[in-house]
Amino acid sequence: MLDGRTTLDLVIGFLGLLMIFAAIWSVLSKRLLSSVLLSGAVSLLASLVFLAVGAPDVAMTEAAIGSALTTMVFLYSLSRMKAEQDAHEDGGAS
Amino acid sequence: MMKKLLLLAAIALLAFALWPFVRDVGLAEPGELATAYLERGPAELGTANVVTSIVVSYRGFDTLGEVTVLFTATAGVGGLLARRKSGHGKKKAAERGATDASEILKTASRLLSPLLVLFGVYIFLHGHLTPGGGFQGGVVIATAVLIGLLADPEAGLAHGVMHVVEGLSGFAYVALGAVGLWFTGVQAGFLDPRFLPLGELGRLASAGAIPIIYSLVGLKVGAELTGILDAMKEDAE
């Protein structure tokens, strides 16, 4: 029978492993879009860990800022970079 | 080869340094300072959420620092992006060849945005009772605006209103902090919320001025982050 402590350890360990995999994958990924989304996933998993250890305030901040806003800011930068690249391929500055 | 070995050694060293935190995670006894906060927070300030009593009052100066950092970052982003934008005129979405948002996103945003704003307001109004507070509530409001911007790229924000809200709430926040400093009593500090009655623990209108202070922080953070998102969106166009 699992007591509370062991269950907590298992949950945190599982989430931690997922985080490590997502982080490594996001570094190794060849597509920038999947890198951005995976780093958002790392934040989301981190917020679950915070929730598991009883820090809901930190978990909310991490989920809202780390996985939502930061990802969006990165996505906007990505689209901006893409627009710049397209402009160059069209032949010079627009 | 050497590089990989060094990399492995660095990772092992980091793992060794961080291992105690992993081993003792979760169920450690709170230390002396934490115990003092846990016992005195609800009694002195009337907050059911101890984190809020620390963030808003006991460590009010740190929060003022955080608000300042956020403000500086927003001002920096806004300044940088505004300067490069003034060069070329704004193009319409159709001229950029942007595709329209899908019907699902549009309908969902119409349904979700008001609810998200409401949830954000709930989070910062109940900062002294439930987890979360001004910062989290502000970010949730910013995500509501973000969904709206995603669904309708042509939508413009009322910049004037945003700036007025941000400026006024920032000013009122510092003013309330000063009020707490001067009018509460001998032991008062910056952002002491006890110049209003503490009320009954667990009620919405309790904990002195904490709901007001956190609402101001929430409005300020929401307006600032919305401004950043809007600046990034206009720059990406």
Task: For residue B146, give the nearest of A54, A60, A72 by CB distance.
Answer: A72
Nearest CA in chain A to B89: A94
pLDDT per position as a tens digit, A7-54 = 877 888 889 899 989 999 988 988 888 999 999 999 999 999 888 877
Q: Is the pLDDT reported for residue B1 higher than 90?
A: no
Task: For residue A57, give the nearest of B25, B131, B143 by CB distance.
Answer: B131
Taken in order A76, A79, A85, A89, the sign of the CA dihedral is negative
Whole-number CA gyration radius for chain A: 18
| Predicted pLDDT of residue B27 | 59
Find chain A residues with C-beta within 8 A of B143's C-beta: 64, 68-69
- Alpha-carbon distances, residue A82 vs A33, A48, A76 (angstroms): 11, 33, 10
CB–CB contact A61 B131 (8 Å): no
CB–CB contact A60 B49 (8 Å): no
| Predicted pLDDT of residue B187 | 60
Q: Would you state the structure tokens that stand for residue B134, as one six-digit string?
A: 């001004």
| Predicted pLDDT of residue A60 | 87
Task: Give, rounded to a whole angstrom, the gap between the first and last alpha carbons of chain B.
Answer: 45
- How much is the pTM? 0.77
pLDDT tier at A94, thresholds 50, 70, 90? very low
Q: Are B187 and B40 a contacting pair, CB within 8 Å? A: no
pLDDT per position as a tens digit, B136-169 = 888 888 888 888 888 877 777 777 777 788 888 8
Q: Calculate the average pLDDT of chain B.
A: 77
| Least confident piece of the model among A15-19, A63-67, B49-53, B88-92 | B88-92
Residues of A with CB under 8 A from a CB of B: 5, 8-9, 12, 53-54, 56-57, 59-61, 64-65, 68-69, 72-73, 76-77, 79-80, 83, 94
Residues composing chain B: 237
Which helix (H) or strand (E) covers residue A85, if one does?
Answer: helix A70-89
Q: How far apart are CA B171 and CA B223, in angstroms?
A: 14
Q: Would you state the structure tokens that stand for residue B160, as one six-digit string?
A: 């004037």
| Predicted pLDDT of residue B183 | 66
Task: For residue B27, give the nearest of A5, A59, A65 by CB distance.
Answer: A5
HSE-CB at B181 with a 13 A cutoff on CA atoms is 10
What DSSP assignment string belongs to A18-61? HHHHHHHHHHH-SSHHHHHHHHHHHHHHHHHHHHHTT-HHHHHH
Q: Which range in A2-6, B129-133, B193-197, B203-207 is most confidently predicted, on average pLDDT? A: B129-133
- Alpha-carbon distances, residue B123 vs B47, B175, B191, B200 (angstroms): 14, 23, 20, 20
Q: What are residue B90's phi and psi, to 5 degrees? A: -80, 135
CB–CB contact A56 B236 (8 Å): no
Task: For residue B229, give the nearest of A53, A65, A72 by CB distance.
Answer: A72
